[in-house]
Structure 1
Amino acid sequence: MVKVEGFVADGYEAVREVVQELVDDGRETGAGVSVWRDGREVVRLSAGWADAGRSRPWQPGTLVQPYSLSKAFVTLAALVVVRDGALALDEPIAASWPAYGVNGKEGTTLRQVLTHQAGQPRFPAEAGGLDLLDDAGLRESLVRAAPEYVPGTSLGEHALTYGHLVDGILRAGAGTTLGEAFNEVVRPALELDAWFGVPDDALDRVADLEYADPNWPNLLHAAPWLRIPDGALDVERVNSRAWRQSVFGAVNLHTSASAMARFFAELTDEQGPVAALLGPGLHADLLAPQITDFDEVFGTRITWTLGFVRDHGKIAKGGIGGSAAWWSRKHRHGCAYLTRRLDDHSRAAQVAAALGDDLTVVGED
C-alpha cells in the first residue's frame, strides 16, 4: 500500500480519504492535490510516484504538464501586452500582423482567439509533416490556412493552436514572445511555480506522464483536433527534455498543484495579485462570460471567459489526461488536482465532490 503524504486541515479529511482510495484502487499512480482558502493552504497531498519507474515519490514541489490548463496562462501573457497598450482585444490582428490577415482572417481579433472563436481549433493538414517543435513552421501554417468557420460565428477550443496564435500575435504586435511575456512578467508578478520552458535547475522536479490505457490517445473525444502535428499525446515525446524546455503554449506549462490552487484562490480577488497585474478593467474582462455556445471540441455547451470555463458553481480550467483546477464560487476556495496518469476526469471530480463542488461542465453562468 502506498500512503498518501501531506496534510489536511480540520473539515477536509474526506479529501484525503478520496485520494487514498484512488491510489489503493490503482486509478492514480502520481498526483498532487491542493486546496487554498482565505490565504492559506488547507490541503496539500502527494500521492504515488513522480516517475514511471516508481523510484521518486511525488513531492509538494513536483511539476507536471496539465495540458490545456496551460491556456489560462497564455491568456495572461496576452493580456499584459494589452495592458501595456501594444495590442487591443477588439482590433483586427492583421493591423499588426498583416501576413495573418488572409483567406478569411482579415477581421479576426485577439478576443476571438482568446475565446476560441477564431476558427482555427486545429493545425491544417499541411502541417502534418512538421515537427512538434517547429514553432515557426507551425505558426506559418496558421497564417496560410483559411479558418474552418467565419471567425466569431462558432466555437471550438483551439486545442493545440492557442499558444502558437498568441505567440505570433505577440511577436508581430509587441516584439516579444509568449515565453518571454509569461516567464519575465506574469510568472514573477504572481510568484508562480510554473514554467513555459522548464529551467535546468527544475528539470529534476518534473513528473513523467504515463497512459492509464495504452489506447488512451485514441479514446479522446478531442482526438481529431490533436493529431497534427504528431506527438503531443506521445508520452515518450512529451517526457523528453527537449519538450519540457520548449514553449508549446496550448499544453506544456509545467507546474505544481499548490501553485495552481493558490492561483485560482486569488484569481477573483479584486485586491489580489491577478487584479494588480492586469488592472481592474482587464481583470473584470478576464473573468466575465464572453461566449456561451456549443463547443465542438468539448462536445458540450459551455461558457468561456478569456481563458477559463465558467458556470454558476466555478471558474475552472482542465486538461486532457485528468488534471483540473478551479475557483469554487460557492465555497470560495481554490483547488487543483494535477496528475501524471493520463485518464479521464473522474478522479478530479471525486475530489471536487468531497469538497462539495461539481466539475460537470454547465453551459450557463
Structure 2
Amino acid sequence: MTLSDHSGDAPRGSVAPGFEPVREVFHDVVTRQRGTGAAVAIWHDGRWVADLWGGWADAGRTRPWQRESIVMPYSVTKAFTAMAALVLVDRGLLDLDSAVQEHWSQLRTPATVRQLLSHQVGLVALADPAPPELLLDWDGLCSRLAGQEPLWTSGTAIGESALFYGHLVGELVRRVDGRPFGTFLRDEVCGPAALDFHIGLDDQAQARAVDLTEVDSLVAGLGGDDRPALLRQALLNPPGALDQDTVNSSAFRRAEVPAVNGHGTARAVAGLYAALLAGRVISPSLRDEAASAQAHGIDRVMGGPERAWGLGFGVDDEGFGMGGIGGSAGWASTRDEYAFAFVTGTMGDHDRSDAVETAFRDVLGLPPL
C-alpha cells in the first residue's frame, strides 16, 4: 500500500477516552471498503464520543475524505424530510389528522398527513414506465403522483414509498409554506440546528460531495427470494436512483429528490437525533408521537419481518431512526440515550454500521444489537 493509499484509508477525527475500540473497528471497516470511504458520529451523555472519517471521497481514490465531506445516505434522508413537515405541525400550520388534499387538491389519493408521514399511502410505484428525466423534474413527478392510482387504500397497509416519499411530503410542505422544499429544510430545520445536511446542492456543496461506489450491487440485491417484486418497481421507475453515473452527476446532486438524495456528514445525521433526544427541533411531545408506532405489519415494498412506522422513522422498543439502502444509518436510542450515525460511499450491507455501533455499546457494557 502506498503512502497516499494509507493516508486516505486511515481514519481521522477523534474519540473520547475509553472509546478507542470504536476507532479500531471503524478503521477495519474503512480499510476493507473497495470504493470510497465512510464516517461515523456518536453522541452520548451530552458529548461527541466518536467523530471519525476515513477512506477516499472520489471513485479514483485521489481525494481523501475530509471532515466536511458530505455523502448521500439514501433513505436516511427521509427522516430529514419528515422533520420539515413536523416543524409545520409543531407550529400549528399543518394538522396530522387533516386530509392532504386540503393543501394539495390535485392529489387523487385520499390520505391524512399522519398516513402520508407513516408510509400508509399506496403511492409507492408508478403504473407506467417513466423516462429518466422525470426523476429530476419536481413539478412533473409531483403531477404524475397526484394522478396516480394507489396500490391500496390509505391506512389499510404499510409500504415504504422508497423513491417518492420526498416528493409527497415535500410538495405538501411547499404548498403550506410556499418555499421550495430544499430551501425550507435549510432555513427551518438544518440551519437553526447547525446540521450540515442539504437537499439540492449548490456549487460549493457539490465540491464537498463524496462519490458513491459499488452502486450496481444495489440493483442485484433487489431480486432476492425474500424481496417483494414491488421493490424493483418502487426503486427503478423512473430509472436513475440506483445508477452510479446518475447519482454522482452534478444534475442529480443539484435536484431535489428528498426520499434519497440528501447529502450530509455523519455529525449532521447523528446531530439531528441528538437534538431530538434533547427536545429540540420539534417539541418533546411531538417527538414522542413521531417516535411511536403509527402503523405496523409486513411492509409491502420492503417485505418481512414485521415492522413499525412512526412519523418518518422506523421505530421499535429501543428507539427510532432510518437506514438507507447501501449501508448508511441514523438512529436515536431512547432506551440507552445515544444518537448514532454511519454514512458510507461504498454501497454494501448494514453489517459495517452494526459492527461500529456494537463496539460503542461494548464500551458501555450494553447488550449487543
**What TM-score, normalized by structure 1, do the two folds share?**
0.89
After superposition, the Cα gap between the structure-2 partners of 1:307 and 1:345, relative to the gap in structure 1 and judged at 3 Å, is same
Deviation at 1:304, TM superposition (A): 1.3
> Is 1:304–2:306 an aligned residue pair?
no
Partner secondary structure for residue 34 of structure 1: strand
Residue 94 (structure 2) aligns with = 87
Distance 2:129 2:243 in 1: 20
Give the alignment partner of residue 233 of structure 1, picking from 216, 225, 242. Answer: 242
> Is 1:133–2:136 an aligned residue pair?
yes
Partner secondary structure for residue 207 of structure 2: helix
Residue 332 (structure 1) aligns with = 337
Cα deviation, 1:101-121, whole Å, max 9, x if unaligned, reads x3xx23x11111100001112
RMSD (CA atoms): 2.1
Give the alignment partner of residue 289 of structure 2, picking from 285, 288, 302. Answer: 285
Partner secondary structure for residue 51 of structure 2: strand
Distance 1:310 1:243 in 2: 30
- Aligned amino acid, residue 119 of structure 2: H
- Aligned amino acid, residue 91 of structure 1: S
Judge which range, 316-325 or 193-202, deviates more: 193-202
Partner secondary structure for residue 75 of structure 2: helix
After superposition, the Cα gap between the structure-2 partners of 1:180 and 1:208, relative to the gap in structure 1 and judged at 3 Å, is same
List aligned pairs for 1:269-284, cutoff 5 A. 269-270=278-279, 273-274=280-281, 278-284=282-288
Residue 246 (structure 1) aligns with = 255
CA contact (8 A) 1:268 1:287 kept: no
Distance 1:305 1:147 in 2: 21
Judge which range, 336-345 or 86-95, deviates more: 86-95
List aligned pairs for 1:59-70, cutoff 5 A. 59-70=66-77
Give the alignment partner of residue 170 of structure 1, picking from 147, 170, 173. Answer: 173
Distance 2:287 2:139 in 1: 31
Distance 1:45 1:292 in 2: 35
Distance 1:14 1:27 in 2: 22
Partner secondary structure for residue 90 of structure 1: coil
CA contact (8 A) 1:166 1:178 kept: no
> Is 1:52–2:59 an aligned residue pair?
yes
After superposition, the Cα gap between the structure-2 partners of 1:281 and 1:42, relative to the gap in structure 1 and judged at 3 Å, is closer
CA contact (8 A) 1:130 1:138 kept: no
Give the alignment partner of residue 187 of structure 1, picking from 170, 186, 190. Answer: 190
Deviation at 1:152, TM superposition (A): 0.3
Residue 218 (structure 1) aligns with = 220
Give the alignment partner of residue 32 of structure 1, picking from 35, 39, 43. Answer: 39
Residue 363 (structure 1) aligns with = none
Deviation at 1:130, TM superposition (A): 4.9
CA contact (8 A) 1:22 1:28 kept: no
Cα deviation, 1:80-133, whole Å, max 9, x if unaligned, reads 222333322111112222211x3xx23x11111100001112233253565320
Deviation at 1:253, TM superposition (A): 0.8
- Aligned amino acid, residue 152 of structure 2: Y
Distance 1:51 1:6 in 2: 19
Judge which range, 161-170 or 244-253, deviates more: 161-170
CA contact (8 A) 2:247 2:253 kept: yes
Partner secondary structure for residue 99 of structure 1: coil
CA contact (8 A) 2:327 2:349 kept: yes
- Aligned amino acid, residue 246 of structure 1: A
Deviation at 1:27, TM superposition (A): 5.6
Deviation at 1:296, TM superposition (A): 2.2
Distance 1:114 1:41 in 2: 30
Cα deviation, 1:223-242, whole Å, max 9, x if unaligned, reads 33201111011111111112
Residue 112 (structure 2) aligns with = 109
Cα deviation, 1:140-169, whole Å, max 9, x if unaligned, reads 111111110010000011101101111222
- Percent identity between the two aligned chains: 39
Matched residues, number? 350
**Uncovered stretches (5+) of structure 1, i.e. residues with no partner:** 361-365
Residue 315 (structure 1) aligns with = 320
Distance 2:272 2:105 in 1: 35
Distance 2:30 2:262 in 1: 25
- Aligned amino acid, residue 210 of structure 2: A
Partner secondary structure for residue 294 of structure 1: strand
Residue 202 (structure 1) aligns with = 205
Partner secondary structure for residue 170 of structure 1: helix
Give the alignment partner of residue 122 of structure 2, picking from 116, 119, 124. Answer: 119
Cα deviation, 1:285-334, whole Å, max 9, x if unaligned, reads 22222122111223221121111111122322110010011122343221
- Aligned amino acid, residue 238 of structure 2: P
CA contact (8 A) 2:79 2:321 kept: no
Deviation at 1:187, TM superposition (A): 1.4
- Aligned amino acid, residue 322 of structure 2: K
Deviation at 1:355, TM superposition (A): 2.1
